[in-house]
Amino acid sequence: QKEVEQDPGPLSVPEGAIVSLNCTYSNSAFQYFMWYRQYSRKGPELLMYTYSSGNKEDGRFTAQVDKSSKYISLFIRDSQPSDSATYLCAMSAAGRRALTFGSGTRLQVQP
């Protein structure tokens, strides 16, 4: 079983919708949580970074971490066609030197 699970999608929504992207994980030691956005044939770019539990908001993006459920979410408000990309969750723990990634969810926002 993978340490981090992520639904591959594709997830198709109309422009303006609220999008919810999720990852579950099995390692309770994970404390650092990130979301990356990857456009086709490009490298992943960092969107959000959260330490431990709680919410973090940046513009149209909100990241939530629920450590008791081992569940993290990324919400996108007022989604735009330019948000169409693959979204990767990533996480790590103290003492680990590398990130563990989910396999990514492909999002399509229809104009």
Partner 1 sequence: DAGITQSPRHKVTETGTPVTLRCHQTENHRYMYWYRQDPGHGLRLIHYSYGVKDTDKGEVSDGYSVSRSKTEDFLLTLESATSSQTSVYFCAISAKEVDTQYFGPGTRLTVL
Nearer to partner 1, 14 or 43 (CB): 43
Quote the distance between the C-alpha of residue 75 and its chain's center.
9
- DSSP code for 13: E
The answer to whether the beta carbons of residues 4 and 11 sit under 8 Å apart is: no
Nearer to partner 1, 26 or 110 (CB): 26
Question: Shortest gap between Cβ of 82 and partner 1 (angstroms)?
Answer: 18
Gyration radius of the chain's alpha carbons: 13
Question: Shortest gap between Cβ of 14 and partner 1 (angstroms)?
Answer: 27
Instruction: For residue 102, give the 3-state DSSP assignment.
Output: coil
Question: Shortest gap between Cβ of 87 and partner 1 (angstroms)?
Answer: 11
Binding-site ranges for partner 1 (CB under 8 A): 6, 8, 32, 34, 36, 41-46, 49, 88, 90, 92-99, 101-104
Nearer to partner 1, 18 or 46 (CB): 46
Give phi and psi for 84, each to the nearest 5. -65, 115
Instruction: For residue 60, give the 3-state DSSP assignment.
Output: coil
Nearer to partner 1, 41 or 68 (CB): 41
**Distance (Å, whole) CA 91 – CA 110:** 30
Question: Shortest gap between Cβ of 104 and partner 1 (angstroms)?
Answer: 6
